[in-house]
Amino acid sequence: MAENIYPIYKQMLGREEKERLLGQHGVMVWFTGLSGSGKSTVALGVERELQKRGLVSQILDGDNIRHGINSDLGFSVEDRRENIRRIAEIGKLFVGNGIITLACFVSPTEEIRRMACDIIGKDDFLEVYVSTSLEECERRDVKGLYAKARRGEVKDFTGISSVFEAPENPALSINTGELTLEESVMAVVNLILNKQ
């Protein structure tokens, strides 16, 4: 199979030309945290704030991705790893085209997040830990998943029956149980602007 693959990377327009056209630098903002911590809500606010500033962004959200490209994956350790690997490869394409990419995935282990960073590239990877407490996430339980997990109806649920390893050294940590949405959004926007 490999002998029949002929990549055309060297003939394609480079990242510099695309970033010059857009007037911005591509970067990956990788939101990690428990389900219900506020990852997607903050990313939606960041997307709108960047748009006001004339910056192009793309949200890659866990539920959206699992509805489409990763609909064949479950929640075992192996499937979670493959989910993140695919997302990182897709994210790398967006970043390489000068897009500010906002990835919202539980990505529960340090090893999985390190793999994503290695694929995308350390210089382009900003890890944002949405450190909202388990108690607050359960209180919100916007999808009803914590209640189901507590009843044993959802297997391998992060924070209940599956481990979540907090990032050791994120670029930014925000707790949406303590900060307002606007404060959380602006903290992330300022992080991004420092890379522009």
CATH number of 23-133+163-193: 3.40.50.300, 3.40.50.10470, 3.40.50.970, 2.160.10.10? Answer: 3.40.50.300
0.75 surpassed by pTM? yes
Q: What is the pLDDT of residues 104-119, one digit of tens each?
A: 999 999 999 999 999 9
- Containing 194, the helix (H) or strand (E) segment is none
Amino acid type, 101: T
Active-site residues, by number, are: 107
Give CA torsion, residues 116, 61, 105, 73, to 10 deg. -80
The secondary structure of 116-180 as a DSSP string is HHHHH-GGGEEEEEE---HHHHHHH-TTSHHHHHHTT-SSS-BTTTB--PPPSS-SEEE-TTTS-
Joined tokens for residue 160: 């209940």
Give the pLDDT confidence score for residue 8 in this predicted structure. 61
Give the pLDDT confidence score for residue 157 in this predicted structure. 87
Give the HSE-up count for residue 90: Cα atoms under 13 Å, Cβ half-sphere. 18
Instruction: Please give the backbone phi and psi of residue 63, each rounded to the nearest 5 degrees, phi first.
Output: -65, -40
Which residue(s) pair with 109 in the sheet? Answer: none
| Order of all β-strands in the sheet with 57-61 | 57-61, 100-104, 27-32, 125-130, 172-174
Low pLDDT (below 50) residues in the chain: none
Domain assignments of the chain as residue spans, ordered by start: 23-133+163-193
Q: What is the pLDDT of residues 125-165, one digit of tens each?
A: 999 999 999 999 999 987 888 888 888 888 888 888 888 99
Cα 41–chain centre separation: 12
Give the pLDDT confidence score for residue 65 in this predicted structure. 78
Cα R_g (the chain), whole angstroms: 17
